[in-house]
Amino acid sequence: MFMNRIEVLQKEREKVLVNLAENKGNRAKWLTALMDIDDEMEQMTEIKQKN
């Protein structure tokens, strides 16, 4: 379960980084999305390490 979700998050993170680079007008939106993805990935890593 974790690996699939992490893979999805990594792909989504790549898309967000592209949008962040290309859409200068929406930087706040893309930065927020990036932070959300990074936070979820960090939480999943912490859970995985505890198990």
Average pLDDT over residues 18-44: 92
Residue 7 pLDDT exceeds 70 = yes
What integer pLDDT is reported at residue 50 of this predicted model?
A: 86
- Tally Cβ neighbours within 10 Å of residue 12: 16
**This prediction's pTM:** 0.83
